[in-house]
């Protein structure tokens, strides 16, 4: 079933072809990267198990080692790897021959953007979880054959893992926008702008806190001093304190902005920026 508009905004068949092209286009590089990461996981897991075995920490490792070891690996694969992959999503539009070919492919801007978005967001998150699950199974089998114990089998549906995936689905939208916005080194330039924005936000919050909490942030001459001794911080934000009344509302607003506003704004900006590049 296809839905057509006057501008050819959406076609299920056309979108399927674009999605298939994007998935199959870099499968060789993907397989090489997966093999390299899987090998690194197996080697690191074996070395860690060897170290714990030599220190006589077998029983403790079997009970609690899995959560920390594989969770840290998944965090790096998901965020660092995902942000890099997302930053390269639209690299071909900046290449002379490949860019012209891609921009003239049958398909609307919405279909092209949605294809890249699904692959680098939900597709990458789910694929990373499944990939690490398979790699951890192989790693644990090898560890048990060599050392008689392992880190334990990793749970890809652990609440911590799901929360990390939710955060990734939001934050990767910034790097998707950066992949269209910047011509070269999109990952590094996006990171630079994130740092600049974070510094600016910290300055704004610092100035606001200076007036909201004058007792704890006092001005002396040309400088500020923070009166955050023992018990002071909890006193600022504890029940009945001056800063406590607005804390729930601030937390709710921050969650709404992060989970409900950031990604759609980046998607919309990416859509219009892609239209400018196409023209």
Mean pLDDT score, 153-159: 88
- pLDDT at site 67: 54
Confidence of residue 2 (pLDDT cuts 50, 70, 90): very low
**Residue 145 placed within a domain:** yes
List, for residues 70-99, the tens digit of each pLDDT value: 999 999 999 999 999 999 999 888 776 666
Domain count, the chain: 1
**Residue 7 placed within a domain:** no
C-alpha 107 chain-centroid distance: 28
**Residue 223 placed within a domain:** no
C-alpha 130 chain-centroid distance: 16
- pLDDT at site 230: 47
| DSSP characters over 89-112 | TTGGGGSHHHHHHHHTSSS-HHHH
Which residues face 225 on adjacent strands?
A: 218
- pLDDT at site 151: 80
- pLDDT at site 176: 96
**Residue 1 placed within a domain:** no
**Residue 180 placed within a domain:** yes
- pLDDT at site 262: 94
- pLDDT at site 253: 85
Reply yes or no on whether the pLDDT at 182 is more than 50.
yes
- pLDDT at site 263: 95
- pLDDT at site 111: 92
Strands (E), the chain: 217-220, 223-226
Q: How many angstroms separate the CA atoms of 223 and 246, rounded?
A: 26
**Residue 93 placed within a domain:** yes
Reply yes or no on whether the pLDDT at 244 is more than 60.
no
**Residue 222 placed within a domain:** no
**Residue 29 placed within a domain:** yes
Q: Which residues form the domain of 113?
A: 12-212+246-278
Structure tokens given for 212? 């909201």
Q: Give the residue, 270 or 91, on which the prediction is more confident.
A: 270
Structure tokens given for 135? 């790699």
């Amino acid at each position: 079933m296809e839905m057509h508009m006057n501008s050819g905004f959406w076609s299920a068949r056309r979108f399927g072809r674009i999605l298939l092209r994007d998935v199959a286009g870099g499968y060789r590089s993907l397989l090489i990267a997966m093999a390299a990461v899987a090998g690194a996981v197996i080697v690191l897991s074996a070395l860690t198990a060897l170290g714990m075995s030599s220190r006589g920490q077998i029983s403790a490792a079997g009970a609690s080692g899995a959560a920390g070891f594989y969770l840290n690996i998944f965090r790096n694969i998901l965020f660092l790897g995902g942000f890099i992959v997302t930053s390269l999503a639209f690299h071909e539009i900046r290449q002379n021959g490949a860019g012209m070919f891609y921009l003239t492919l049958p398909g609307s801007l919405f279909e092209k953007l949605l294809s890249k978005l699904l692959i680098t967001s939900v597709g990458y998150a789910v694929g990373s979880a499944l990939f690490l699950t398979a790699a951890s199974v192989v790693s644990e089998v090898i560890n048990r054959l060599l050392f008689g114990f392992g880190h334990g089998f990793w749970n890809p549906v652990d609440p911590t893992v799901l929360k990390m995936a939710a955060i990734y689905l939001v934050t990767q939208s910034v790097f998707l926008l950066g992949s269209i916005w910047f011509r070269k080194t999109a990952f590094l330039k996006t990171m630079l702008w994130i740092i600049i924005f974070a510094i600016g936000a910290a300055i704004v919050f610092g100035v606001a806190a200076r007036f909201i909490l004058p007792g704890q942030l006092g001005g002396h001459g040309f400088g500020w001093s923070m009166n955050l001794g023992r018990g002071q911080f909890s006193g600022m934000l504890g029940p009945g304190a001056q800063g406590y009344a607005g804390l729930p509302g601030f937390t709710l607003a921050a969650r709404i902005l992060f989970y409900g506003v950031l990604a759609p704004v980046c998607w919309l900006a990416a859509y219009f920026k892609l239209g400018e590049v196409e023209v």
